[in-house]
Structures are given as structure tokens and as C-alpha cells.
Amino acid sequence: MAQENIKLDIDYVRSQFPAFKDPISKDWSFFENAGGSYVPKNVIDRLTEFMTSTKVQPYAEYPMSKIAGDNMDKATELFAKMINAKNNEILIGGSTSVNLYVLSNALKDILSPGDEVIVTNQDHEANISPWRRLGDYGAKIIEWKFNLNDHELKISELEKLINSKTKILAVTHCSNIVGSVNNLKQICDIAHQYNVIVIGDGVSYAPHGFPNVKDLDVDFYTFSLYKTYGPHLALLYGKEEILKNLPNQNHEFLQGQYPYTINPGGPNHEELASLIGIYEYFDNLYFHHFNNTKISILEKISKINNLISEHEQEIANPILNYLDSRKDLNLIGKNKITDKNRAPTISFYSNKKSSREISNNLHKYKIATRNDNFYAWRCLNHLGIDTDDGVVRLSMTHYNNKQDTENVLSALEKI
Ligand SMILES: Cc1ncc(COP(=O)(O)O)c(C=O)c1O
């Protein structure tokens, strides 16, 4: 948790996001962050700069092209540093779903008939379907089901399922419905005893603190940059020793040029360059709160992560507590965040009203939320929830404030 008794300066944070001053959005409490986040002005500025001055084909020697290419490379380098990866271990693709389909297509070649692939029923479908399709190539698909009493994925269950035939394990770092943070490091430790490749879905985790992929020791890790304050892109990390040997999914002549081998079509240029703005935002956040200049990017991120977690815990726990106390409402997952064990992604449903009705009523009080299965339909099926009506999800991030918490509690009470 936060050291040095420093707290997140929420007014400063909000001043960095133009959406809080925009006539369309300014009066709303925004609770749909797990769907997609607002962007800080640094990202908008970087995007505008690219589109205004350097919107040409990058990597030629004339200035506009050179600057465009340099900025794209710089964005990749910064993101690699932020998550403790090497530059050639990350690729920026169109979405997590696309990245994982391409990856599964590449990984299918390592499988022999009878090999096993473990998927969960807690994940978003993006980290299930691409792996289940390996069944078409002879793999046996094993489902690691979450516990119906506390909605957690139990390590003891994994230990029963994993064995020397297991080749791939796809698991979420944090479910977009349950919100619990799964112990990915421990999961990787277990999996690696059997030489299993672990694919971690960090889409619901990364907006609450960028991961240290080397510390997790995960083989592949993915998150969607449009949920971490950027444009509609997604990052895929892969350990170099695995990535470099994967069959090429790109043009034939690019054989061997990883990570492009797993990124057919390449990144969206202007959006990639605008990712520099995410780094700049976090850097500004760091220097607003701390003054040690002799610190690595990774250490800065770790300090900001702690500030963010503490703030999120403060604003989310009253909502978890309230929902848990209501007999007519069913809260999914843990009823309290303690020590980063849960994201402030809060899903619930009612015994009396449809999720749609609740969500629409919340809109009347300017609470931006929605009802849905959020593509975690296996998770909702397992919980016995109608996947069309789904759950109401109140997902917060570090720019939500105490006023948002008060607004949603008062709106829930009224409706
Ligand atoms: C946990 C989780 N995983 C994967 C995805 C898919 O991400 P994308 O929209 O980038 O394909 C989402 C999207 O909501 C998600 O919440």
C-alpha cells in the first residue's frame, strides 16, 4: 500500500481528463470503466500531433516519416519498460480478442493429439474460445470451474486438473465479473512444474496497476489499452524464448522477425504513437506526488500502482459493503477489497428487478453503467444468471471520486 503517507490527489487526477469538463460527460458519474476508460489529455495531444504533423507512412528518412516511426518505437519502448518486458517481447494489436486468436493459431502447432488445454469458466470469452478451438486440432479441453460459494478459482482444483499432458493454461488475472485478483504468480509456478505455457488475461487487472510480467513469470500476458487510458488497441507480451520459436502468422518474408510474426497487419500507427501519452500521464502523476528523480520507470509505476490501489479501495468498499448488506441484491465476488485482492469491478443482480431495469434507472441519476453478460457468459451461466439480462456492473477506476460513490449509493437507495 502507499508509502510515505501520500494519498492520490484526486483533483489533480481528474484535471488531466478532459471528459470531466466536457458538456456531454461532465455531469455523469462514470461507472463503465471496465468497458473502456476515459483518456488523459496527453494521449489526445499525442494523437493530434501525429495526425497533424506526421500522418505519413513511417520509417522513411524524410522528417515527417522519421518522427512518426521514432514515436511509434518510443511508445513500444516505454510500454516495455512499464511492464518490465523487452522491446521485442511486446506487440500492439487491434484488440485482446484478435491478439489471442492469432496467438492460439500459432500455438496450435505445438500440440500433439491427446495433449490437454485448460481454460476456466471465469474468464472473458476472449481467453476461452481461441483455446477451446484447439479441440478441433485434437487437443482435449479441460475446464477449471470456479467455486459457486465464493466465486473464486481454487488453486486446489487446478492441482487436480493439471498433469504432464497439459500444454496450455489460459486464465484470467482478474475476472471482469467477479473482480477477484487471481494469484497468477502461484498459478505460473504450478504450471511451470509441468512445462505448461500460461496465457494470462490482464484486461481487468491492468487498469488498476500495470503488471510486472517478469515477476509474474507468465508466458503470455495481454491487456486492452483502451481500458488503460489509451485508444482502441491491445498489448500482448510473450517471453522471448517462446515467441521467437512460434510459427509465423505474418507475411512469408517476415519469418523470424518476432514479435511481428504474431502481429499480421501491424499496429495502428497513430494510436500506437499516442500511447506515449499514457506514459506521460503516469510520469506526471509520479512527479506530482513524489520527488525522487533517480528512479526507474518500473519503480515509478509500482509507486503509482500503490497510490491507485489505496484510493480505489477507499471509494469501492462502501459500495461493496452496501450491496452486500441488501438482502434483495446478489453481489458477485468478495465483499471487501483488502490489499489488492480485488478490483473495483462490482457486479450484482436483483431477486426482484431485471438488471436492465436497474441499469436504466441508474441512468436517470446520471450513473453511467450498463447491464450485460460482458462476454463472460460461461461465468454467468455457471452462476445461473440469464445471460441476456446479465448483471449490473459498476466498475470504477482511480479517477472516480468519493462523490461518485455517494451518487451511486444514493441512486441505488432511491431506485
Ligand atoms: C477480462 C477481459 N478480457 C478480454 C476482453 C476482450 O478485450 P478486447 O475488447 O480488447 O478484445 C475484455 C473486454 O471487455 C475483458 O473484459
Q: What's the mean pLDDT in 51-78?
A: 98
Residue whose CA is closest, atom 16 of ligand 1? 176
**Pocket lining: 234 vs ligand 1, CB cutoff 6 Å:** yes
Burial label, 345 (beta-carbon count in 10 A; 0-12, 13-18, 19+): buried
User: Which atom from ligand 1 is nearest to the alpha carbon of 174?
Assistant: 1
Model confidence at 113: pLDDT above 50: yes
Model confidence at 4: pLDDT above 80: no
Q: What's the mean pLDDT in 292-301?
A: 94
The residue among 368, 316, 370, 376 whose CA lies nearest residue 340 is 316
Whole-Å CA distances, 317 to 38, 204, 207, 276, 341: 22, 18, 18, 32, 12
pLDDT of residue 5: 82
Q: Are 44 and 68 in contact (CB under 8 A)?
A: no
Cα distance from N-terminal residue to C-terminal residue, the chain: 35
Q: Are 345 and 176 in contact (CB under 8 A)?
A: yes
- 109 lies in the same domain as 248: yes
How sure is the predictor about 52, in pLDDT bands with cuts at 50, 70 and 90? Answer: very high
Percent of the chain exceeding pLDDT 70 equals: 99
Q: Is the peptide bond before 259 cis (omega within 30 degrees of 0)?
A: yes
Beta-bridge partners for 144: 120
Position 296 in a domain: no
User: Which atom from ligand 1 is nearest to the alpha carbon of 374?
Assistant: 14
Residue type, 216: L
Position 295 in a domain: no
- 14 lies in the same domain as 116: no
Position 194 in a domain: yes
Structural domain boundaries, residue 32:
10-38+302-414
- 245 lies in the same domain as 224: yes
- 18 lies in the same domain as 165: no
Position 284 in a domain: no
Q: How many CB atoms lie within 10 A of CB 113?
A: 8
Whole-Å CA distances, 149 to 146, 152, 234: 9, 8, 33
What's the 125 CA to ligand 1 centre distance in angstroms?
Answer: 8
Q: How far is CA 381 from the centre of its chain?
A: 22
- 358 lies in the same domain as 375: yes
Position 170 in a domain: yes
User: Which atom from ligand 1 is nearest to the alpha carbon of 97?
Assistant: 11
pLDDT of residue 293: 87
Tally of domains within the chain: 2
CATH number (domain holding residue 229)? 3.40.640.10
Specify the higher pLDDT residue, 3 or 56.
56
- 26 lies in the same domain as 53: no
* pLDDT digit string, tens, across residues 78-101: 999 999 999 999 999 999 999 999
pLDDT of residue 2: 43
Strands annotated E in 134-233: 140-144, 166-172, 197-201, 220-224
* pLDDT digit string, tens, across residues 137-188: 999 999 999 999 999 999 999 999 999 999 999 999 999 999 999 999 999 9
Q: What's the mean pLDDT in 268-276?
A: 98
Whether this model's pTM surpasses 0.95: yes
* pLDDT digit string, tens, across residues 313-330: 999 999 999 999 999 999
* pLDDT digit string, tens, across residues 227-236: 999 999 999 9
* pLDDT digit string, tens, across residues 196-215: 999 999 999 999 999 999 99
Which of 242, 277, 312 marks a domain boundary?
Answer: 277
Model confidence at 247: pLDDT above 80: yes
- 115 lies in the same domain as 60: yes
Q: What's the mean pLDDT in 283-301?
A: 95
Position 2 in a domain: no
CATH number (domain holding residue 358)? 3.90.1150.10
Model confidence at 306: pLDDT above 70: yes
Position 286 in a domain: no
**Pocket lining: 372 vs ligand 1, CB cutoff 6 Å:** no
* pLDDT digit string, tens, across residues 350-400: 999 999 999 999 999 999 999 999 999 999 999 999 999 999 999 999 999
- 122 lies in the same domain as 186: yes
pLDDT of residue 1: 43
Percent of the chain exceeding pLDDT 90 equals: 97
pLDDT of residue 157: 98
Position 92 in a domain: yes
Mean pLDDT of the chain: 97
Which residue stretches of 84-148 are H helix?
96-107, 129-132
- 76 lies in the same domain as 203: yes
How long, in residues, is the chain? Answer: 415
CA separation for the pair 35, 133 (Å, rounded)? 25
- 186 lies in the same domain as 117: yes
- 309 lies in the same domain as 333: yes
What's the 136 CA to ligand 1 centre distance in angstroms?
Answer: 24
User: Which atom from ligand 1 is nearest to the alpha carbon of 201?
Assistant: 3
Residue type, 134: L
- 155 lies in the same domain as 25: no
**Pocket lining: 176 vs ligand 1, CB cutoff 6 Å:** yes
